[in-house]
Amino acid sequence: QLQLQESGPGLVKPSETLSLTCTVSGGSISSSSYYWGWIRQPPGKGLQWIGSFYYSGSTYYNPSLKSRVTISVDTSKNQFSLNLSSVTAADTAVYYCARLVGYCSSGTCYPNAFDIWGQGTMVTVSS
Amino acid sequence: QSALTQPASVSGSPGQSITISCTGTSSDVGSYNLVSWYQQHPGKAPKLMIYEVSKRPSGVSNRFSGSKSGNTASLTISGLQAEDEADYYCCSYAGSSIFVFGGGTKLTVL
């Protein structure tokens, strides 16, 4: 049974870099069938897609966050990480990692839906 | 990308049916049959309820159904039950492996 678990500091100072890790168990992040991603949810607000990656090394970012976001992968540890730089109070949120199932048609594949989620981790940006 | 538009809240009595709309643009909902819906109970992670507009993952009740017309997708829940009370979010593929979520809809079972 695939499980995802987020980990990282719960408190980050303004202007610093938020760093989180998602550890995947029960399956490999190197599978060609899936993408993997990060989503966040500010307190009392809706979900926001942050970014995703494919095992081939391709990464995709939300245009509104692209200049501050980096997603990296450690296949040896079956983990992937999120770095968000120059954080402000607006980055305070619950951060989720998730698996994306793919959809293929006429030889082209797309990431499709977030089918398995981690439990989420709360990150507060405050001095 | 702007967030997809959902009603802030909907309500219904047990046994009734409700529909939640999700309006996007011709660049996202209107262009791809890759709309998904998520249920989120307070303090919990979202749960996938519908993918590819109308498909249900294994284990999701057939009381949940999805559809799409033009730039608007819809989630219908029939035979409302108390346990359906939750927040619901739509999400659409928007090209170039980018995703956009809706603002969320709070479902109240009266």
DSSP string, A100-111: EEEEEETTEEEE
Give the pLDDT score at A109. Answer: 81
Hunting for tokens 């294994």 — which residue is that? B58
Q: Is the pLDDT of residue B1 over 80?
A: no
> How many Å apart are CA A90 and CA B49, to the nearest integer?
29
Residue of B1, B52, B103 with shortest CB distance to A46 = B103
Q: What does the pLDDT read at residue A32?
A: 82
Selecting from A35, A47, A64 the residue whose C-beta is nearest the C-beta of B89 gives A47
| B72-110 pLDDT, tens digit each | 999 999 999 999 999 999 999 999 889 999 999 999 999
* Interface touch A63/B98, C-beta < 8 Å: yes
Class of residue B95 by CB neighbours under 10 A (exposed 0-12, middle 13-18, buried 19+): middle
CB contact under 8 Å between A46 and B34, yes or no, is no
Nearest CA in chain A to B52: A112
For residue B32, which phi and psi values (nearest 5 degrees)? -135, 140
Residues of chain A found within 8 Å of residue B103, distances taken between Cβ atoms: 46
* β-strands A18-25, A79-84 pairing: antiparallel
**Model confidence over B7-58: pLDDT tens digits?**
999 999 999 999 999 999 999 999 999 999 999 999 999 999 999 999 999 9
The tens digit of pLDDT for each residue in B60-81 reads 999 999 999 999 999 999 999 9
Cα–Cα distance for residue pair A53/A97, rounded to 1 Å: 11
Mean pLDDT by 10 residues, chain A (127 residues): 96 98 95 92 97 89 96 95 98 98 84 96 97
Compute the distance between CA of residue A1 and CA of residue A100 in angstroms, rounded to an integer: 15
Give the pLDDT confidence of A10-19 residue by residue, as tens digits.
999 999 999 9
Q: Which residue of B has its CA nearest to A51?
A: B98
